[in-house]
Amino acid sequence: MKVFNKVKGGKGEYSAIKYLEKNKYKIVETNYKNKVGEIDIIARQKDCLVFIEVKARQTKQYGLPSEAVDARKQRKIRLVAEGYLIKCKEIPQCRFDVIEILGDEINHIQNAF
């Protein structure tokens, strides 16, 4: 699929996109960047715009992948999302999700923060 060719985040983001598409999300952007930072995936689920952070690890040696999305990272993602929304003609309903990938297991945390 053409979206995968745009993904620069590696295997974790590729797996997350496949998972999202399988679950009827429409991928809007991958690796969206502005001067504040980056959001891994922006997708639509029905009328909701979803900003998604992807964290992948092979083992729990350093904790769960989602634990890396701390308060500082959440704040940065919110600021990047604000920058994205400024460009939108209408402000849709939004939420912030985390997709953690541990080995081959995918855990989708909706409304993570």
Assess contact for 54 and 13: CB atoms under 8 A.
yes
Give tens-digit pLDDT for 61-104.
Answer: 999 999 999 999 999 999 999 999 999 988 899 999 999 999 99
Assess contact for 66 and 107: CB atoms under 8 A.
yes
Identify the domain containing residue 36 by its residue range: 2-109
pTM of the model: 0.89
Give tens-digit pLDDT for 53-70.
Answer: 999 999 999 999 999 999
Q: Residue written as tokens 């992807």?
A: 54
**What's 64's domain CATH number?**
3.40.1350.10
The secondary structure of the chain as a DSSP string is: -HHHHH--S-HHHHHHHHHHHHTTPEEEEEEEE-SS-EEEEEEEETTEEEEEEEEEESSSTT--GGGGS-HHHHHHHHHHHHHHHHT-SS--EEEEEEEEEETTEEEEETT--
pLDDT band at 2 (very low <50, low <70, confident <90, very high): very low
For the chain, how many structural domains are there in total?
Answer: 1
